[in-house]
């Protein structure tokens, strides 16, 4: 199910392009900690920007914190919430 | 200042007394010889002021940011280097008190720290990463309940005079450079080889040359969790707020000297406002703005701790930007204020042997913009502002 979910695929691609991860984004589990996988806070800003561009959303300031961007699952939940609302 | 702790008044009074009787009279010698302010640290230990951030349950007074900033700013008015040593020590104690309480070893260590008034130093900088505290090259290696940790640090304030050092490093030899932990290395279990000198313009009493550290210890000395969290929730806010408070303290003493100079002139000619008084009025506005910036953020920090989402709020981009802005603003303002005070005192402030001397203040505050480079901080703010909406 998750493997073919287009949103997750887009998130993985953005992480691959901008997350500066030390591992392949495709090999990460949905709940794996992205910061432990090497994403710096500087790289996370580029991930946020790419997500805003890709999904045509704006993260409100209260969502701009580590816990929202620390895994593929939590990013997906945040994007879903903004798209749904 | 107002404090919720009844004993704070007594602690602040003790600090004021030792600042006046010990730190101030030794400040010029500490600066001239680039020596550790030993007598001031001894006096702080005697007054039990080194355990100010330790929570009550471990025997300390559990002071919050406003109280700690009041202590650091007061000491810095007497001796900038001593104020910086106290601030850096408090930052390390706060990292342990706020992030290691789940560990039995560290709960015991906090009690020991209160009893023995340990001095804690810090090694975040490293040859190869320089001012970028959030990456490390060195890694802690664990084996059979013990660890081994070596670090080539570019700058290590009072490391030779400390009872322990908190060292940033990678979590393991295969961890990425940003996956860091904090490790407490203890006197007797490490060896320091000095690699560079500390003959600087200012902050000479912090004694901060480069060192090669070789250390071992028990695995439980590794602070649980990740430095990413303890950095954002503790090391960065404690550093920027306490540093701002002590830089203000140095600037405030410079303005106090200028004010005394102006009053002296006014007394000679009552009825005529001396022209230097206009400059004093101008510089006092900048000094007040600087003070209220750190006071307000110290109060905001303390209020976070009362809120259920407080620790999460400290991880937000909005808060990180506030900390960066405080650091840049305070470190730019401090030498500007001293410069303006010097225009008031004139040649008497320029002399090193007058009671209006401002050379040490000027040189000490010039370190502020370099201590974690303002350019480096500004470039991080610039990137955060690409997503922050201030809404
Ligand atoms: C008084 C004092 C006490 C200290 N005590 C300690 C201590 O106890 N422990 C410890 O670990 N460290 C300590 N430090 C060191 C501190 O943590 C920093 O490592 C150090 O101040 C930065 O040194 P740097 O200028 O060589 O490095 P860098 O930050 O690498 O800067 C070098 C140059 O590059 C520029 N630069 C860097 N990044 C950018 C950017 N993104 N954009 C544009 N320009 C950039 C800077 O402006 C600067 O000109 C202390 C420093 C001082 C001044």
Smallest CA–CA distance, residue B311 to chain A, in Å, is 11
The answer to whether the CB of B220 falls within 8 A of the CB of B122 is no
Mean pLDDT computed over every residue of chain B = 96
Percent of chain B with pLDDT over 90: 94
- In the block, which residue shows the tokens 């201030």? B390
Tell me how far apart the alpha carbons of residues B157 and B356 are, in angstroms, rounded to a whole number.
Answer: 28
* Secondary structure of residue B191 in the 3-state scheme: strand
The answer to whether the CB of B5 falls within 8 A of the CB of B61 is yes
Residues 6+ apart with CB under 8 A from B73: B83, B245, B246, B248, B249, B252
Tokens of B355: 């009671």
Domain B6-118 and domain B121-221, same fold? Reply is no
Torsion (CA) A40, A43, A48, A54 in degrees, nearest 10: -140
Residue nearest (by alpha carbon) to ligand 1 atom 21: B371
DSSP B59-116: TS----HHHHHHHHHHHHHH-HHHHHHHHHHHHHHHHHHHH-TT-HHHHHHHHHHHHH
Domain positions in chain A? 10-18+32-82
The answer to whether the CB of A59 falls within 8 A of the CB of A78 is yes
User: What residues of chain B, 350 to 379, have a C-beta less than 8 Å from chain A?
Assistant: none
Residue A44 has a pLDDT of 93
Residue B229, CA distances (Å) to B48, B132, B182, B254 in order: 29, 16, 11, 37
The verdict on a CB contact (< 8 Å) between B315 and A22 is no
Question: In angstroms, how far is CA B108 from the centroid of its own chain?
Answer: 25
CATH architecture of B6-118: Orthogonal Bundle (1.10)
- Give the position, in ligand 1's atom list, of the atom nearest the Cα of B203: 1
Residue B257 has a pLDDT of 98
Residue B6 has pLDDT above 90, yes or no: no
Residue A3 has a pLDDT of 54
Tell me how far apart the alpha carbons of residues B216 and B209 are, in angstroms, rounded to a whole number.
Answer: 22
Domain positions in chain B? 6-118, 121-221, 227-385
CATH topology of domain A10-18+32-82: 1.10.1200
Convert the pLDDT of each residue in B124-168 to its tens digit.
Answer: 999 999 778 999 999 999 999 999 999 999 999 999 999 999 999
**CATH class entry, domain B121-221:** mainly beta
Residue B273 has a pLDDT of 93
Tokens of A4: 């073919």
Convert the pLDDT of each residue in B229-254 to its tens digit.
Answer: 999 999 999 999 999 999 999 999 99
Convert the pLDDT of each residue in B157-197 to its tens digit.
Answer: 999 999 999 999 999 999 999 999 999 999 999 999 999 99
Tell me how far apart the alpha carbons of residues B204 and B196 are, in angstroms, rounded to a whole number.
Answer: 14
ipTM of the complex: 0.86
Closest CA to B297 of B35, B19, B68, B58: B68
- Best of B225, B228, B320, B382 to substitute, by most chain A Cβ atoms within 10 angstroms, is B228
Tell me whether B309 touches chain A (CB under 8 Å): no
Beta strands in B207-273 (DSSP E): 211-218
Tell me how far apart the alpha carbons of residues B2 and B78 are, in angstroms, rounded to a whole number.
Answer: 22
Residue A4 has pLDDT above 80, yes or no: no
Convert the pLDDT of each residue in B16-67 to its tens digit.
Answer: 999 999 999 999 999 999 999 999 999 999 999 999 999 999 999 999 999 9
Residue B219, CA distances (Å) to A23, B42, B177, B184, B222 in order: 27, 31, 20, 10, 6
- Give the position, in ligand 1's atom list, of the atom nearest the Cα of B123: 11
Total-model pTM:
0.95
Tell me how far apart the alpha carbons of residues B230 and B262 are, in angstroms, rounded to a whole number.
Answer: 46
Residues B272-295 have a mean pLDDT of: 97
CATH of domain B227-385: 1.20.140.10
Tokens of B172: 């393991």
Tell me how far apart the alpha carbons of residues B178 and B165 are, in angstroms, rounded to a whole number.
Answer: 20
∠ CA B304-B305-B308 to the nearest 5 degrees? 85
Residue B266 has pLDDT above 90, yes or no: yes
Residues 6+ apart with CB under 8 A from B100: B106, B109, B223, B224
């Amino acid at each position: 199910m998750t493997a073919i979910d287009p949103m997750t695929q887009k998130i993985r691609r953005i992480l691959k392009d901008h997350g500066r991860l030390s591992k392949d984004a495709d090999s990460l589990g949905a709940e794996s900690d992205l910061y432990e996988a090497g994403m710096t806070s500087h790289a996370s800003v580029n991930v946020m920007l790419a997500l805003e561009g890709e999904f045509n959303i704006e993260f409100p300031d209260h969502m701009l914190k580590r816990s929202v961007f620390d895994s593929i699952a939590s990013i997906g939940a945040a994007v879903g919430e903004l798209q749904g609302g | 200042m107002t404090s919720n702790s009844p004993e704070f008044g007594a602690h602040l009074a003790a600090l004021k007394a030792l600042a006046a009787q010990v730190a101030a009279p030794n400040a010029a010698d500490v600066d001239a010889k680039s020596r550790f302010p030993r007598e001031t640290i001894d006096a702080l230990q005697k007054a039990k002021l080194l355990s100010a951030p330790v929570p009550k349950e471990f025997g300390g007074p559990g002071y919050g940011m406003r109280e700690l900033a009041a202590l650091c700013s007061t000491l810095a008015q007497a001796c900038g280097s001593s104020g910086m040593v106290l601030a850096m020590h408090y930052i390390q104690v706060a990292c342990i008190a706020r992030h290691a309480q789940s560990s039995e070893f560290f709960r015991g260590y906090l009690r020991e720290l209160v009893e023995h008034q340990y001095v804690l130093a810090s090694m975040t900088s490293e040859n190869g990463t320089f001012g970028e505290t959030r990456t490390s090259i060195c890694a802690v290696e664990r084996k059979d309940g013990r660890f081994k940790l070596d670090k080539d640090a570019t700058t290590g304030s009072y490391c030779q005079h400390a009872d322990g050092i908190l060292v940033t490093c990678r979590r393991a030899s295969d961890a990425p450079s940003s996956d860091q932990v904090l490790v407490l290395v203890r006197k007797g279990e490490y060896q320091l080889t000095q690699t560079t000198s500390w003959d600087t313009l200012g902050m000479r009493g912090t004694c901060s040359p480069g060192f090669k550290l070789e250390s071992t210890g028990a695995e439980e000395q590794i602070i649980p969790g990740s430095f990413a969290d303890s950095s954002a929730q503790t090391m960065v806010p404690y550093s920027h707020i306490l540093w701002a408070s002590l830089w203000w303290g140095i600037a405030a003493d410079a303005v106090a000297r200028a004010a005394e100079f102006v009053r002296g002139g006014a007394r000679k000619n009552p009825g005529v406002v001396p022209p230097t008084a206009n400059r004093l009025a101008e510089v006092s506005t900048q000094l007040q703005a600087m003070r209220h910036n750190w006071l307000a953020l110290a109060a905001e920090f303390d209020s976070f701790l009362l809120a259920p989402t407080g620790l999460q709020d400290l991880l937000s981009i909005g808060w990180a930007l506030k900390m960066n802005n405080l650091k840049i603003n305070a470190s730019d303002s401090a030498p500007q204020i001293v410069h303006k005070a010097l225009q008031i005192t004139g040649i008497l402030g320029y002399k090193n042997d007058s009671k209006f001397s401002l050379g040490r203040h000027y040189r000490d505050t010039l370190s502020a913009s370099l201590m974690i480079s303002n350019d480096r901080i500004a470039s991080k703010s610039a990137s955060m502002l690409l997503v922050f909406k201030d809404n």
